[in-house]
């Protein structure tokens, strides 16, 4: 009897994390895709693009903030998942480099408006680079409306610089984002997804969580490891991929460790949070 109860509980927990979204729920994923240009050998995009799409299909998110996305990667993904569409310029303002591409279920969400800005001293200047960055850093954002009940929310997606020497640039990026969101309507929920390339003990996290909450810290249900970057090994050592929010109620959060035949969809584990909106 105890074993049957335990199995029933495990089944219920699995359904909570992988089943279809319930009415009123919003499933948000952050997913660093790993660039298509990396010298990754057996982990190159061609070898993992099906698993990447299968991971999204299994988790069934409503919206995904990605990082390092190439145009071909985005197109490959929606070809396999036609219920999704995606948008966004790359960090130079075109479509030849890395995008902070936002995917969403077009049968569940309506894109009301979108835009982008750069993490620099001149945020409105496309492709601008300051603060010692070696590449442009940017935010892709959108206002969505849910088709089922017309509730709206904002999503911001970003990717901070990665070098140890970039900590000041990451901090400035966080403060710039914190200032930018102040102009958004106070009554509309906001979610931030991203690869922040720094941990939750950083100044960047502190700056953003002054007004936002971290889903990993606050969700009543958690699954998976608390770290996310694993470099295709499956053994993560840093929690650098976050989902932050305001104006929502988190129900669960999961670090997704799906693999097949020893291969992973990316060098980062994606993270998904389920919110009540």
Domains of the chain: 26-276 (3.60.10.10)
pLDDT at 12 over 70: no
pLDDT above 50 for 199: yes
Cα separation values, 66 from 44, 241, 258, 271, 273, Å: 17, 10, 17, 11, 14
Residue 164, pLDDT > 80, answer: yes
Strands 241-246 vs 213-214: parallel, antiparallel or unpaired: antiparallel
| Nearest alpha-carbon partner for 271 in 226, 231, 205 | 226
Ramachandran bin of 274, using left for φ above 0, alpha for ψ from -120 to 50, beta for the remaining angles:
beta
Q: For 138-149, what is each residue's pLDDT tens digit?
A: 999 999 999 999
Residues in contact with 276: Cβ distance below 8 Å, sequence separation at least 6, in sequence order: 24, 25, 26, 248, 249, 250, 251
What pLDDT does residue 23 have?
Answer: 58
For residue 183, what are its two tokens? 């102009």
> In the predicted model, is pLDDT for residue 21 greater than 60?
no
Mean pLDDT of 88-105: 98
Of all residues in the chain, the percent with pLDDT exceeding 70 is: 92
Distance of alpha carbon 205 from alpha carbon 16, whole angstroms: 28
Q: Is 256 helix (H, G, I), strand (E, B) or coil?
A: coil
Over 80: is that where the pLDDT of 18 sits?
Answer: no
* DSSP for 144-157, written as a single string: EEETTT--EEEEEE
Q: What pLDDT is attached to residue 24?
A: 73
Query: Confidence class of residue 38 from pLDDT cuts 50, 70 and 90?
Result: confident
Do 239 and 228 form a contact (C-beta atoms < 8 A)? yes
Arithmetic mean of pLDDT, 111-118: 99
């Amino acid at each position: 009897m105890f074993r049957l109860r335990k199995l029933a509980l495990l089944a219920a927990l699995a359904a909570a994390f992988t089943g279809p979204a319930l009415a009123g729920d919003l499933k948000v994923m952050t997913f660093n895709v790993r660039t298509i240009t990396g010298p990754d050998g057996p982990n190159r995009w061609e070898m993992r693009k099906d698993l990447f799409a299968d991971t999204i299909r299994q988790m069934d998110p409503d919206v995904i903030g990605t990082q390092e996305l190439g145009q071909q990667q985005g197109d490959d993904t929606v070809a396999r998942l036609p219920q999704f569409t995606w948008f966004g310029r790359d960090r130079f303002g075109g479509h030849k480099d890395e995008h902070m591409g936002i995917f969403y279920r077009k049968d569940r969400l309506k894109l009301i408006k979108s835009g982008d800005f750069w993490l620099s001293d001149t945020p409105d200047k496309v492709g601008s680079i300051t603060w010692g960055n070696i590449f442009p850093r940017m935010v892709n954002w959108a206002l969505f409306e849910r088709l089922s009940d017309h509730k709206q929310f904002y999503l911001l997606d970003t990717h901070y610089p990665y070098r140890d020497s970039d900590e000041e640039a990451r901090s400035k990026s966080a403060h710039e984002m914190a200032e930018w969101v102040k102009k958004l309507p106070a009554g509309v929920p906001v979610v931030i997804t991203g690869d922040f390339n720094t941990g939750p003990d950083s100044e960047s996290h502190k700056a953003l969580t002054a007004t936002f909450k971290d889903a990993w810290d606050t969700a009543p249900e958690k699954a998976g490891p608390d770290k996310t970057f694993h470099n295709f090994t499956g053994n993560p050592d840093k929690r650098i991929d976050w989902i932050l929010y305001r104006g929502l109620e988190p129900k669960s959060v999961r670090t997704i460790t799906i693999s097949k035949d020893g291969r992973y969809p990316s060098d980062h584990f994606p993270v998904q949070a389920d919110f009540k909106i």
